[in-house]
């Protein structure tokens, strides 16, 4: 399977509430393509609910550097930074 395939699997698993399995899918996707947008966004979401906001912040910075996903990354980065302040 390729990066996009693993990202799609991760999104499907997350929709079913299978967070740990979804995380595996997103991480596998990023192993194959570190800039896979859906995997980055999905893993950021998983990390935010898992109280791993520092890593989520790092990935949001990476997402904001991917062409066409700058705004998405910046919005997520702002949300994470707000959560870190609380």
Write the pLDDT tens digit of every residue in 8-60: 999 999 999 999 999 999 999 999 999 999 999 999 999 999 989 999 999 99
- Alpha carbons 20 and 59: distance in angstroms, whole number: 18
pLDDT at 5 over 90: yes
- Alpha carbons 40 and 45: distance in angstroms, whole number: 9
The pTM assigned to this predicted structure is 0.92
Instruction: Give 59-69 pLDDT, tens digit per residue.
Output: 999 999 999 99
């Amino acid at each position: 399977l390729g990066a996009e395939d693993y990202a799609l699997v991760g999104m499907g698993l997350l929709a079913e509430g299978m967070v740990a399995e979804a995380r595996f899918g997103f991480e596998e996707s990023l192993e194959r393509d570190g800039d896979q947008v859906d995997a980055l966004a999905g893993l950021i979401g998983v990390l935010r609910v898992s109280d791993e906001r520092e890593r989520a912040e790092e990935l949001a910075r990476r997402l904001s550097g991917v062409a066409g996903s700058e705004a998405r990354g910046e919005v997520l980065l702002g949300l994470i930074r707000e959560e870190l302040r609380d």
